[in-house]
Amino acid sequence: MLVNTLVAAAPSYGNLPSALLSNKNKGSDQHTPEAPWLRPPLRSLRWVDHFLASLQDCGFSDSAAVDVHKAFTSFLLGALLLRVAALGAAISPEDAPMVEETSLDKYPTLQRLRSELAEDHPQREFDDGLDSLIERIRTTLQS
């Protein structure tokens, strides 16, 4: 299985989610001026090299491996931003208190879906999103 291949030989940082959220792993294998194109949150040269090589070992072409890496980092960055926002950190000016009208009368779709939108299941949402991404990667490999 693709995920098992990627995880089995992955460089170890112990608890990866904690490592991604901390500065403890800043070292010689981190983001360098020679690799400004590496996107956060995964800027470890060792991790990215291993990730791309593992994808190629599973049959991905160079361009497909790059596409998968970009999709994964975009997914992970989005998940981390949501997690940080849920903890109350302001991420952008849009996070400032809303001053526009608060009535949903003009927004029937929001009104109808507001209780579902208000539900917060971050772990399930992350797992579901990751499953969808893995399925997309699997489909990319098979085409």
- The model carries a pTM of 0.63
CATH number at residue 42: 1.10.357.10
Lowest-pLDDT choice from 10-14, 55-59, 62-66, 131-135: 10-14
Give the pLDDT band (50/70/90) at residue 45.
confident
Rounded to an integer, the average pLDDT of 65-72 is 89
Mean pLDDT, the chain, rounded, equals 75
Pick the closest to residue 5 from 45, 55, 49, 43 (CA basis). 55
What integer pLDDT is reported at residue 59 of this predicted model? 92
Tell me what pLDDT residue 4 has.
60
Q: What is the pLDDT of residue 128?
A: 92
Residues spanned by the domain of 83: 2-142
Residue type, 14: G
How many structural domains does the chain have? 1
Average pLDDT over residues 109-119: 84
